[in-house]
Amino acid sequence: MNHWTHAEWWGAPAGSIVTLGEGGTPLIRSIKLGRELGLNNLWFKYEGANPSGSYKDRFASSAVSHLVSDGKKLCLGTSSGNTGAAMAAYCARAGMTCVLAIVEGAPEGKLRQMMAYGAHLIRIRNFGTSPEISAQVMQGLRSLATELQAGLEISAFVISPRGMAGVMTISFEIAESLGPTGLIKVFSPAGAGGLTLAVARGFETLVDKTGWKGRAQVHCVQPEGNDTIATVLRTGGDQACAVQSTTAVSGLQVGGILDGDAVVAACRRSGGQGHVVTDEQAWAWQARMAREEGVFCEPAGAVALAGVAAAVSRRELAPDDHVVCLVTGSGFKDERSVIRMVGSGPTPLVDDFATFAIQARRAAKA
């Protein structure tokens, strides 16, 4: 197990640790897109390398480890995809039953992954898009968890601080990888903002526990159809604003407040800013990351890079800044976005090698 995910960093008793080898994900230096954007030090923290394919494995390892320590046999939770897959995997590892309330528009591929781990899934109409329905679900889950003596694990500090402590290890790894580089500017995609808050608090914890001498700005990037935090942060407000979520970016469809107010405060303490991007921009950068950098990510994983591009256009980044994009999950997570990139037609089938060679020569000249 990577030493940054060790129990001493997030408090679970050593005898209760549930791990699948999460953490220690690569920090990949851009070789093309950074140059095009005028940035000499652009990096991708690729969380798709975690066991279930997203950064949520850090959350699940910590959350389920604490549930094991508490003696729980049942875990309730919510998900639009990645949290559910991670919780399902780690509950399976721990021999724990996992029941999940699923947002209506969750991608089928992510749901199949959860079911493969044995989780019980129930989608709820308008959950994830309507703030009112989402609030009802959250309140209902709290009551149900008490009734069933179950653990309740949702990837937000306001509900599951013990699990979210595991996500803070992303910051530790970034600091370790880049070393004493001065200021690091981290761009984080946000739905409810838990990841962004975890990263900001992770850097603060690193200073408190180790005396780290570096500095990190944490920037919050949101799709315009789920702008609960970013504009508030940019315009000087201090309270997140609930919205009717309309974004099609899976994983960022959380129109409620949850960690929003704390995200605004933490980003502002760090000197970070808010950035709003369109779904189309996220999809475009997703395709370019795959084709020009070899980084295959889900749309939410490209939102941070879209935010970097927006910051560049506003001249808020300097060429020698060290800029890190949090790439939250693998491209295998969202089949619909891959079809958007490459189409849904079948792979060409030819009758012989000679025909293959003709087409290969054409491709070589393209």
243-270 tens-digit pLDDT: 999 999 988 988 888 999 999 999 999 9
DSSP β-bridge partners for residue 186: 218, 324
**Is residue 232 located within the same domain as residue 153?**
no
Q: What are phi and psi of 305, to 5 degrees?
A: -65, -35
Per-residue pLDDT at 4 exceeds 70? no
Per-residue pLDDT at 6 exceeds 60? no
In a domain, 351, yes or no: no
**Is residue 177 located within the same domain as residue 121?**
no
**Is residue 150 located within the same domain as residue 185?**
no
**Is residue 337 located within the same domain as residue 290?**
yes
Domain that holds residue 97: 56-162
Are 80 and 108 contacting, i.e. CB atoms less than 8 angstroms apart? no
Query: Average per-residue pLDDT in the chain?
Result: 92
Region of poorest pLDDT, from 216-220, 254-258, 360-364: 254-258
**Is residue 147 located within the same domain as residue 201?**
no
In a domain, 356, yes or no: no
**Is residue 266 located within the same domain as residue 283?**
yes
In a domain, 349, yes or no: no
**Is residue 43 located within the same domain as residue 61?**
no
- Report, as an integer, the average pLDDT of 296-315: 97
Per-residue pLDDT at 1 exceeds 50? no
In a domain, 347, yes or no: no
In a domain, 61, yes or no: yes
The pTM score is 0.93
How many separate helices (H) and strands (E) can be counted in the chain? 15, 10
Per-residue pLDDT at 7 exceeds 70? no
- Report, as an integer, the average pLDDT of 91-101: 96
Number of domains comprising the chain = 2
**Is residue 198 located within the same domain as residue 297?**
yes
**Is residue 336 located within the same domain as residue 213?**
yes
**Residue 8 confidence (pLDDT):** 61
**Residue 342 confidence (pLDDT):** 85
Are 157 and 164 contacting, i.e. CB atoms less than 8 angstroms apart? yes
In a domain, 353, yes or no: no
In a domain, 317, yes or no: yes
**Is residue 181 located within the same domain as residue 279?**
yes
The residue from 133, 162, 191 where one domain ends is: 162
Strand segments, DSSP code E, in the chain are: 27-29, 41-46, 74-79, 97-103, 120-124, 151-153, 183-189, 215-223, 274-277, 322-327
Those residues whose C-beta lies under 8 Å from the C-beta of residue 77, and which sit 6 or more positions away, are 83, 84, 87, 98, 99, 100, 101, 141, 152, 153, 154
CATH number, domain of 77, equals 3.40.50.1100
**Is residue 310 located within the same domain as residue 292?**
yes
**Is residue 40 located within the same domain as residue 62?**
no
In a domain, 363, yes or no: no
- Report, as an integer, the average pLDDT of 160-170: 95
